[in-house]
Structure 1
C-alpha cells in the first residue's frame, strides 16, 4: 500500500500562477473518460525488456540494468512538469533507502540532450535515466496518449513547446507510472494514474520493495 506523494508548494504555485488549475482538471477528466492507461503491464506479468539510450547515448536494456536484482521503473514527463520535478527530487532523497533494500531506480522520460543530462543530475549516478525517444516505450506499455491540439495551444501560450523539448512533433505525452520489478522481471507493484498530479510516495515504494524481498 502506498500513499500519495505530498503536493509540493512550489509546483502548486507554478500551476496556479499560470492559471492552469482548471485546465488540468478538464484535461485529466478527458483522459479518464477515454480510459487512458487502462491497458498497461499488470502485476504478475513480465515487464517488457525494451532498450533505450541513457543520458550519454549508450543503449541499455531493462534486463541489463536489472542485473539479477529488483528495480523500480518510473515513467516521467520531464523537467518542464513541476509535478515530475518534485517526484524526481523525492526519488533522489529516497535512493539511499532503495539501495539498502537492494533496489535500483530507472527513470524513463522523453527528454533528450541537455534535458536528459539535467534529469540524470537530479537523480544522481546511482540511478539511470533512459531517454524514451518519441515515447516509443511508453506507447508500447500503453502509457502514451495524444495531447490534443487544444492542450498544445495552451502550452504554447505559456511558451512551452513540447516538440522542442522532446525533439519530435508527434504530439504524445506519457502517463506517469511506477513499477516494481522482481529479480525475474515480473511486476510486483504498479501505479498508473492519468491524473499526473498524483504520484506514489517513493518512501512507500521502497518500503514495499523491501517487504517483497
Structure 2
C-alpha cells in the first residue's frame, strides 16, 4: 500500500479549516448523544437487515447480491457536500486496491439525489458501488438517521446548503455516518457508528478486519 495519511489526519484538517463551527457541532452532537441516536444501529454478530435499493444509475442492488462474492465494507455517508464525508471517501479511494487484495469490496450509501451520488465516484474510483438511500429509508430502518433541528437548518441555509434540495425532500433528515464489514452470511463483523460525524473508522483498521475473514 502506498504511503497515505491516516483518515484522522484528514478529518483534523477539516476541523481546523472551520473552527467557527466547532462549538455549533459540539452542542449538536451532545444533543444527539442525549437522544441515544445510533445506539440501536447493527452490532457485531448481528445479521444486517437485507435490503434492495437503487444504485447511482438506478439499478436495484440487494445486500444478498452485494455479499455473494465475498465480504463488503458498507459505508453510510452524508454526501459529497459534507467535508468530513469527502475526506473519508477520498481516504477509501486511496485504499480500494488494498481492500480488494484483502478480499473485500467497498459499497457506499448516500441519500443524495439529482446525480450527486454518482459524482462520488471521482473520490472512490470506478469499482466501488454507490447506492442511493432515497428519503434515508434504509438509514432510518437500521437506526442511523435523525431529524436535523431548526438551529442547524438555519445555519446550513445561511451557508447556502439546502438539504431539502440535496436529498430531494423537505424532511431535513440526516444519516449518521457509519461503517460496517458484512460477510457472505450477511453477518456484521465490524461496526462503527458515532453520532459525531467528525469521527470515522480508520480504513486500515477496517481492511485488517476484512483480511482476517479470509
**Is contact 1:55-1:113 (8 Å) kept?**
no
Length, aligned pairs only = 209
Choose from 15, 19, 34 the match for 2:18.
15
Deviations 1:24-45 (A, max 9, x none): 0100010011111011111111
> RMSD of the alignment, in Å?
1.5
What is the CA distance between 1:49 and its match in structure 2?
Answer: 1.3
Q: What does 1:26-45 correspond to in 2, within 5 Å?
A: 26-45=27-46
What is the CA distance between 1:14 and its match in structure 2?
Answer: 4.0
Does structure 1 residue 155 correspond to structure 2 residue 181? Answer: no
Q: What does 1:80-91 correspond to in 2, within 5 Å?
A: 80-91=81-92
Alignment partners' CA distance in 2, 1:108 and 1:124? 15
Alignment partners' CA distance in 1, 2:62 and 2:17? 35
Partner of 2:98: 97
Partner of 1:201: 202
Alignment partners' CA distance in 2, 1:67 and 1:212? 15
Alignment partners' CA distance in 2, 1:118 and 1:10? 22
SS at match of 1:20: helix
**Is contact 1:5-1:202 (8 Å) kept?**
no
Partner of 1:173: 174
SS at match of 1:209: helix
SS at match of 1:205: helix
Alignment partners' CA distance in 2, 1:141 and 1:9? 28
Alignment partners' CA distance in 2, 1:106 and 1:122? 13
Deviations 1:166-206 (A, max 9, x none): 11111110000000011211001100100100001111110
- Cα 1:88–1:4 change in 2 (3 A) is closer
Alignment partners' CA distance in 1, 2:34 and 2:140? 19
Does structure 1 residue 47 correspond to structure 2 residue 81? Answer: no
**Is contact 1:68-1:184 (8 Å) kept?**
no
What is the CA distance between 1:13 and its match in structure 2?
Answer: 4.2
